[in-house]
Amino acid sequence: DAGITQSPRYKITETGRQVTLMCHQTWSHSYMFWYRQDLGHGLRLIYYSAAADITDKGEVPDGYVVSRSKTENFPLTLESATRSQTSVYFCASSELDRGRETQYFGPGTRLLVL
Amino acid sequence: GNSVTQMEGPVTLSEEAFLTINCTYTATGYPSLFWYVQYPGEGLQLLLKATKADDKGSNKGFEATYRKETTSFHLEKGSVQVSDSAVYFCALSARYDSYKLIFGSGTRLLVRP
């Protein structure tokens, strides 16, 4: 049971480059989420998806793009990376109904933008 | 909008001490409440949850009770261990808000032998 995986686990890039972070889950969960974790802010929601081809903005979506062509994948793209996007990124997934709304988190991707 | 406030850390305790981490929330309706734990270098794991008022979530000796009257969900453990050292996040989600998790800022717990 692979669960939810993220790749790469660590990434160093330069300002202005495009970066894509991958997220894959094997449970066929309807919902998927992207968060960023920064010291003093806890986790903040970037984008989420309720199903394939349905995505919506979270609290901090600027500078990010998502897509969800398949239920199991939810890639996050930084179109032109900035230093302020240096962070730890977590992907999560959950089932649809109340009572089963627990989110399961991936191991995270540590991104450094130079 | 919905929000979660939890006590500032770090919290430093000796092994076998009693732990309380305070968490209060602001939300309309009846959200579900969660405690997640993050061990060093890892992702978040669900520790416990409660989905309605007066429910008590419990796991691994940790407990928290959903108090609607005080809008609180304080985390407690009677006797902490060194292995409990981690960052603890209180969070809420609501069906009317697509189950998005709203997190507190996290509380770092350090347990000394």
pLDDT for A100 = 67
Choose among B32, B42, B104: nearest Cβ to A101. Answer: B32
Q: Is B93 on the interface with A (CB under 8 A)?
A: yes
pLDDT for A1 = 57
Q: Residue B100 pLDDT > 60, yes or no?
A: yes
Cβ of A102 within 8 Å of Cβ of B46? The answer is yes
Phi first, then psi, for residue B82 (nearest 5°) are -55, -35
Q: Among B99, B103, B105, pick the best mutation site for testing chain A contact (most A Cβ within 10 A).
A: B99
Q: How many CB pairs below 8 A link A and B?
A: 54
Question: Token pair of B48, please?
Answer: 């416990």
Choose among B43, B98, B99: nearest Cβ to A107. Answer: B43
Dump pLDDT digits (tens) for A55-109.
Answer: 999 999 999 999 999 999 999 999 999 999 999 999 999 986 666 678 999 999 9
Q: Among B4, B100, B105, pick the best mutation site for testing chain A contact (most A Cβ within 10 A).
A: B100
Please report, for chain A, how many H helices and E strands are present, in that order: 0, 11
Choose among B49, B89, B105: nearest Cβ to A102. Answer: B49
Give the C-alpha separation, B63 to B56, whole Å.
7
A94: Cα within 13 Å, side-chain hemisphere: 21
Among residues of chain B, what percentage have pLDDT more than 70?
Answer: 100
Q: What amino acid is encoded at B18 in this protein?
A: F
CB-CB contact of A13 with A81 (8 Å): yes
